[in-house]
Structure 1
């Protein structure tokens, strides 16, 4: 299914056809089950397509209202909700997180040293508290138990951090008992920081995270199909992946979206659709407003999409700097700082993030452009993020 709405708006027919043909060819080869793509330019949808299969086990075709696990594309939504509290005077970015989550008030930093030829983990006091800003820009010192290995990450795995059967209180308590990977405010490290922000939202608002996000972001933007689980009546719309990735041979594992989890993961728990996420992304592209509804001020959004790693010489020296060359990191987004250096086209000031299962979006303010790509193929995510972006810019007149 392929559709262009309200004219091409600065895009070539040939380029958009090449985009569709390229992705469809890979689907026909069995490399990915299917994909949904959307391009908005100057506030209008210029390309929208739903290709391949929504569920390869049933051969149900992809549709424009298919529901996807968006994983870490949850993070920008939670970050916006946090900044709304900042605008309301209920938070400061300089606030220590322990002001709201006292379980995080006595953290230690894990330092690996070699003793008698063996790697051991020694604990040192944190030299400064984790701030709300640190959580937003991933300089808290927290990490994930996945994405590489270290003795600290092993501690996370052993503690079962962020298990879906945990409550939010149990999660924060567990986070207060594992060591930090780095001193707070020094190194960018992808982490459970936004999950912690989700609990902070609950504590400050007095609402559960689903209620808080609905009230702050989802309902005002009419994002009716976005939530932490999918009701039974809508299960037929859920996108699924292959059982085994055809390229890598790895077993495909994704979270279950069909019942409410105990832990509502602010860092990666949401389900959404292409049109719902466009509502959120277009609000950002418009400077914080959509259809007369303003969530954030223009200056707050400029603040969020500035590089908050500037002036931090060690920030990019972690095990894996996921924003990549040419990008810094703001308050919930990777932010382009250089016209070159990156291995993808774009503009200085564009901002972006993605999700583990293969979802991706970016906003290019200079070109007034929004791109959204959704699939459920975790092993292929890096390839298709780059491919989609290359083809979108190639189609721009």
Structure 2
């Protein structure tokens, strides 16, 4: 597909991205793969298909699949209160505000935290990246961010009652804790043995080996003038917990295997990861009359505002954003998608039978230049299929 090559090459040559990996597939296999540019603007190593990326919140889809395996096995229940399994969630507190001295004001939550609410970001949790009140709470209490790898970081209060609204959050880190409690295994081992290894995702995991570390793409920071600078951005080496919401590293080919498994109803190359009815349920609206709320940045160095489809009512499934209408020239209504903080993006279109991803390593999230490239790439994928 030379048209797609041209889109990606222009992005690199024009300085929009240091390097990029992009891939697409249908139900029968890979339909496009390309790697352009460099892994690091300070080094000569070229971007290659097997370059390893920190995929951040693209981890959430994999953790959600892990949880749904345990739902299938009746070791987790979507709608039972999680307090008996995870004691910290037995009596959750809601942050109502701050008193005159600046101390947090908390009250008991009026509804329980359940697995369905965690998977749909309706449990009441948030991220300080997009919620200034949580940032204020963390400053007042000394609470650490989840990327610290400290279990204490998960002891955050809710910012609304469970079921009240949708808000992007640390909830999938708690899903990872539920997977550990129900399975009796550390999350990194469960995910490796039940998802990554069966699908042949040999370059994916929470802990990169020497071979993967040697192929890591470096994170770059976008300055106000649009220029890019390599930065040192590391994850904790020996965390107390591996984040189900954002701790995985992966490659384009590996993650495409995961997307193709979902596109094929839970099975890839004879390996069943989920039942077809489970995959279908994950792709349905699970938040009823609630809507996805655009992310409004409270930390400009980490994220821009993010509204993937302005003016469109979008929903959330069991782990995925669901667009409510067709996107002209691109994905159909009812497609599933999400992204990672370092500007890694994917979509899965069951109606058209197409999935794709675009991987870079740039902060802040929702980089306008990357989003333009992603839209052009996706449009070219559908145009190539039509042609």
Measured against the shorter chain, the TM-score band is: 0.7 to 0.9
Structure 1: stretches of 5+ with no match in the other structure: 1-15
Alignment check: 8 A CA contact 1:72 1:355 kept: yes
What residue in structure 2 maps to residue 159 of structure 1?
A: 143
Q: In the alignment, does 2:160 pair up with 1:182?
A: yes
Q: In the alignment, does 2:375 pair up with 1:391?
A: no
Q: In the alignment, does 2:90 pair up with 1:105?
A: yes
What residue in structure 2 maps to residue 13 of structure 1?
A: none
CA distance in 2, matches of 1:332, 1:106: 24
Alignment check: 8 A CA contact 1:33 1:52 kept: yes
Once the two structures are superposed, residues 129-173 of structure 1 have per-residue CA deviations (whole angstroms, 9 ceiling, x without a partner) of: 1111000000010001112422x332135311324241x4x344x
The equivalences for 1:170-319 within 5 A come to 170-172=152-154, 175=155, 178-242=156-220, 245=223, 247-248=225-226, 255-256=233-234, 259-312=237-290, 315-316=291-292
CA distance in 1, matches of 2:262, 2:10: 32
Q: In the alignment, does 2:91 pair up with 1:91?
A: no
What residue in structure 2 maps to residue 11 of structure 1?
A: none
CA distance in 2, matches of 1:86, 1:66: 33
TM value normalised by structure 1: 0.85
Alignment check: 8 A CA contact 1:230 1:259 kept: no
What residue in structure 2 maps to residue 56 of structure 1?
A: 41
Shift in Å, 1:59: 1.6
User: Taking structure 1 as reference, are residues 17 and 303 closer, same or farther at Cα in structure 2, changes over 3 Å only?
Assistant: same
What SS does structure 2 have at the residue aligned with 1:262? coil
Shift in Å, 1:326: 3.8
Shift in Å, 1:246: 7.6
What residue in structure 2 maps to residue 7 of structure 1?
A: none
Structure 2: stretches of 5+ with no match in the other structure: 297-305
What SS does structure 2 have at the residue aligned with 1:49? strand
The structure 1 residue matched to 2:337, chosen from 352, 358, 366, is 352
Alignment check: 8 A CA contact 1:254 1:357 kept: no
CA distance in 2, matches of 1:123, 1:299: 40
The structure 2 residue matched to 1:126, chosen from 109, 112, 128, is 109
User: Taking structure 1 as reference, are residues 288 and 247 closer, same or farther at Cα in structure 2, changes over 3 Å only?
Assistant: farther
Q: Name whichever of 379-388 and 72-81 sits farther off.
A: 379-388
Once the two structures are superposed, residues 159-218 of structure 1 have per-residue CA deviations (whole angstroms, 9 ceiling, x without a partner) of: 11324241x4x344xx2xx33111101111111000111111111111111101012111
TM value normalised by structure 2: 0.87
Q: Name whichever of 126-135 and 102-111 sits farther off.
A: 102-111
Alignment check: 8 A CA contact 1:53 1:62 kept: yes
User: Taking structure 1 as reference, are residues 288 and 165 closer, same or farther at Cα in structure 2, changes over 3 Å only?
Assistant: closer
CA distance in 1, matches of 2:161, 2:375: 32
CA distance in 2, matches of 1:344, 1:101: 45
Q: In the alignment, does 2:5 pair up with 1:20?
A: yes
Alignment check: 8 A CA contact 1:230 1:257 kept: no
The structure 1 residue matched to 2:26, chosen from 38, 41, 54, is 41
Runs of 4+ with deviation above 6 angstroms: none
CA distance in 1, matches of 2:359, 2:330: 19
Alignment check: 8 A CA contact 1:67 1:273 kept: yes
